[in-house]
Structure 1
């Protein structure tokens, strides 16, 4: 009986050791899910470098001016005709939403998780279109509703136009600089490749001459 008990103790020890080894080498660890969750939360960070840059400051100014334009246009109670007011309301609300989403994407670094979208080109198109539509809506609002107290909304609209126009100019310069740099690198690569081909072909030409 004592020998059987020793055998059972040895068996239990081996079983526990085997279970510990199998648990250590098993790919289904209980800590896998918290680690993945930590990686997902680690991507949400505030990009202070972008927020302090000129592009980040312009983006914040655009969001604030678009919001103030929308709030001011909502306080207008009388309009005759009202088409200009409705158009300005649509432009200010659309600019606030789209620019706010881009600010969150750039400010939190979320655009790095979607690399197949050209975010610089997207931002340039948004600022350019917003500048044009804000200018048109502000001019129409001033010309059609100059007696309804909508001048304050038009002032914010013109300020938003200026902010979007400056951002568009800077983005266009950045895009042209990046394009010219890429073309220069491509030309250097093609020149180096052609020179390497000439070097490889020279020994055979000399052999034929000999």
Structure 2
């Protein structure tokens, strides 16, 4: 039967052994709390974009395309109907695509995907919407211009064409400016690398 001194010694040795093994163990418990991933972190409404020229134009385009689509939907009887269907498709497509781009720029989602050239994407959308809105409005006014809904659709179609044309002009200037800046940066980097390589060649001793 063990005495109290032997038991205390055994307990002390056990505690020391556990402390040593715990200190040398590579699997130490962490005290840092695990933070849940915030997938939507950094997404916010950019009010500066909304009050900018491009933001105002985007909002106007979405509103005009929606009103033009609603106006064409009020036409109950059409003869012929080809112009009505074409204008309906153009106004609906412009509303959806421009609305998506407005959300992308307004919520700063374009910064999450830097691989996409968003300036060029916006330019292509505005240019295509300008052309097709103008074409659809001309076809509609040539074939269907008798009812009030048809006249309203034509008016808002030409208004949307004008706003899209202004946006296309400004987007083209922005895209060209961005290309010039990127080209200047690439040229400066190339010259810097070339100058550094020349300096290394001059500093290298001639062993011949």
TM-score interval w.r.t. the shorter chain?
0.7 to 0.9
Taking a change above 3 Å as real, the CA distance of residues 109 and 2 of structure 1, as seen in their structure-2 partners, is: farther
Residue of structure 2 in register with 1:32 after alignment:
34
Taking a change above 3 Å as real, the CA distance of residues 157 and 202 of structure 1, as seen in their structure-2 partners, is: same
The aligned runs of 1:92-103 (5 Å cut-off) are: 92-103=91-102
Cα distance in structure 1, aligned partners of 2:200 and 2:159:
62
Cα distance in structure 2, aligned partners of 1:132 and 1:186:
34
5+ residue gaps in structure 1?
205-210
Cα distance in structure 2, aligned partners of 1:175 and 1:199:
36
Taking a change above 3 Å as real, the CA distance of residues 2 and 91 of structure 1, as seen in their structure-2 partners, is: farther
- TM-score between both structures, scaled by the size of structure 1: 0.78
| Total equivalences in the alignment | 193
Cα distance in structure 2, aligned partners of 1:188 and 1:153:
52
RMSD: 3.4
Cα distance in structure 2, aligned partners of 1:72 and 1:96:
13
- TM-score between both structures, scaled by the size of structure 2: 0.78
Report deviation, 1:179: 1.9
Cα distance in structure 2, aligned partners of 1:83 and 1:104:
32
Taking a change above 3 Å as real, the CA distance of residues 41 and 143 of structure 1, as seen in their structure-2 partners, is: same
Structure (1/2) with the larger helix percentage: 1
Report deviation, 1:193: 6.0
